[in-house]
Chains A and B, each alone.
Chain A
């Protein structure tokens, strides 16, 4: 919690945190309550402009846009969070095993991951989606695999450099097993870059989910996600620009918040800035 208070003292940290908090709260609220049923269409009342009953108006099927954005927030955010689990867990396992035990496993894994990284994450996800099929779980699985290489590489890199520290040797010299040394001494020191990467990744996943939905490969309609609300709006963009603008703004707020918070976290967790105060300047 000390970390949180330090981050909130920074301008980018506090703004990012506030933006992200708004997004998360909206998502949680959207999962249990929305002003109207986001799926119920009212064909008599299409493209209505803002009113007391529909603060953001209605879309081409007369559905309440605010309700759809709120539910969409829940869908997008829950997919985003769920997508982080697999890459972080599996990536940490693979990355630390590769970085600490080295050898043929490391070489093989890195060859595969390097090959994967040569493709943009979205392209891999697209390919996987084509196989798995377009649904919520397909999106989660496809994006998980798309971001796995990034986590693995980051963890492997930190493990590799921390393994050279004398305190790791000290642990080995004390008779501790390799596994114990890895878990107790090495991994906690890899936490900082991993936290930063995870924060940033949440933003990338939000964007990628929107992009997939926009291409019609994401969450299937009528279930709203920010991406498919945007996608549905594109046919009417010339006459009703607000239909596209509103989900766009939502995605922008979430992304900006995540990026600001990620930057603040990176500055705060950077070992150089953490130890700078304790080391004497010359």
Chain B
């Protein structure tokens, strides 16, 4: 694959030159002294944390800086056009779309929800080309085929909301690449998507760009993701360009401290699986079903039932960390929510310490449920904006009546310290904290009551990569101190690998594979597991420094199994034990 990439490297003349660029808002410079060059047909990754100014550069190239921002110094030169000093506003407008294409992070808001897909694709073509309607339509259909969407004729007449995030992003790529721009700016194009879809979308984008000789500026916070696609990497830190170089060299021998830090974060730590105690499981979920009913008109005329979880059973031992992995829409979060009763069950049992939560008295159920705490995905919405941090954390102790006020305050202070925050942060409001700090607060709130089980629903996927690593380290450290069991829900196998002893791989509401982490990574059996594994790229330390881990797994041994394919939901399904608790989903023969 490496060789193939080398041969494709059609490095030509510089198409985009940025010299000593400074972007400022008022008197405050958010980007300082940046020099960057992009050659014809090259893919350049611009990497940095949020707030590093990387998106600002992308916008400046289009001449579309947000209100109040301006390129205060330096110049941007694109194919003979001075972007920073255009001869007319018209010049820039004509460049946008036809010569420079832009793909945003959020495909839901960048497609107009009231316009059919076809109309949106035709719009730009009408504006920038002289083709006839039939030719434009042909081009659009052709593009949709190139982004590997089925039955493109039918798609043209549908609206954006009818598509998943990944499909919308493919449509976006199709409509941008249809004009054959010479430069494509992709601003975090897959950050809102999960690993499998991310891989598909980026692969499609790369293929299209290489086929058309388009240069790509790929803006991302995740070095490991872009390393696979980019020939060169530019690293931004707080408005400064700290390092530029060929991807391979930057990975193998980073020159700047910040790059080293980013790389360290992208590597994650050494996996440290937390095995629990043997014996009766702390929590057992048996044959769980969850249905969502989409109500019809006015809730009167029936509705359609969507089976989110179809008969899932799992166990979590005392003090054990268990991972639940799957794409978005696989039902993994729903399982977590059903365990804490945030979503009603359609069937099945949740058994806590041998007691069926549905059968014991309401009081006993309350008492047991309080032993389970949840850490949510988005720390920006999981903390009440009107409460001070101290009060938020203290609320976790609300049901422990034995404590005095002073003891509570002391407990809050200690808890804040053990999640790595300062005691005096208790006086602040959530909006004064960064995402990572907020997630620490959320963890403190969950842990302060010393629960037996933490359900962590994608606790790091809303955070920057460097912060992700820190939060995972914190989880490991706290697990050692407090000894809680953990159900860790994530779409990224490499993240759950960090601390989980056993994994359940979920697709379309059913378990596809269940195994110890070691067994799963050593011999992933189910095709879906293998797809998940190859989707999330990771960096490996080799003899010559870091390099991108080989993503193509060795072929699975031919066991003659007929695997269950979750897209055929009605096929007969059974879990087969391969020994040692390694189970895989097969298609039942009868």
Contact = CB atoms under 8 A, between A and B. Distances in A.
Contacts of A61: none
B532 interface: no
B376 interface: yes
B366 A280 contact: no
Nearest to B381: A166
Interface stretch (B196-204, B302-310, B391-399): B391-399
A185 B432 contact: no
A61 B366 CA distance: 73
Interface of B: 25, 50-51, 55-56, 66, 340-342, 366, 369-370, 372-374, 376-378, 381-386, 395-396, 398-399, 431-432, 442, 445, 455
A174 B398 contact: yes
Interface string A220-259: 0000000000000000000000000000000000000000
30 contacts: A166-B381, A167-B383, A167-B385, A169-B374, A169-B382, A170-B376, A170-B383, A170-B442, A171-B384, A171-B395, A172-B340, A173-B340, A173-B342, A173-B374, A174-B370, A174-B374, A174-B395, A174-B398, A174-B399, A174-B445, A175-B370, A185-B384, A271-B385, A275-B385, A278-B432, A279-B431, A281-B66, A282-B55, A282-B56, A282-B66
Contacts of B369: 175
Contacts of A49: none
Nearest to B336: A173
A176 interface: yes
A135 interface: no
Nearest to B391: A184
A280 B50 contact: yes
A188 interface: yes
Contacts of A175: 366, 369-370, 399
B432 A170 contact: no
Contacts of B382: 165-167, 169-170
A189 B384 contact: yes
Interface in A114-172: 165-167, 169-172
Contacts of A274: 431
Interface residues of A, number: 22
Contacts of B55: 282
Contacts of A169: 342, 374, 376, 382
Contacts of B376: 166, 169-170
Contacts of B377: 166
A105 to B, nearest CB: 14
Interface string A169-193: 1111111100000000100110000
Q: Give the most central of B377, B399, B431, B442: most A CB within 10 Å.
A: B431
Contacts of B50: 280, 282
Nearest to B53: A282
Given A165-B381, A167-B382, A174 B25 contact: no
A279 B373 CA distance: 28
Most buried by A among B376, B378, B396: B376
Q: Which of A166, A172, A188 has the most CB of B within 10 A?
A: A166
A222 to B, nearest CB: 49
A280 B51 contact: yes
Central interface residue in A166, A172, A174, by most chain B CB within 10 Å: A174
Nearest to B340: A173
Contact of B374 (A170, A189, A278): A170
A185 B382 CA distance: 11
A274 B478 CA distance: 34
Contact of A189 (B342, B385, B431): B385
Indicate the member of B383, B384, B396, B455 with the most A CB atoms within 10 Å. B384
Given A170-B382, A174-B370, A282-B56, 17 more contacts: A166-B376, A166-B378, A169-B376, A169-B382, A171-B384, A174-B373, A174-B395, A174-B445, A175-B366, A175-B370, A176-B398, A185-B384, A188-B384, A188-B386, A189-B386, A280-B51, A282-B66
A171 B370 CA distance: 11
A215 to B, nearest CB: 40
Interface string A77-88: 000000000000
A167 B382 CA distance: 4
A170 B445 contact: yes
A165 to B, nearest CB: 5
Contacts of B56: 282
A280 to B, nearest CB: 5
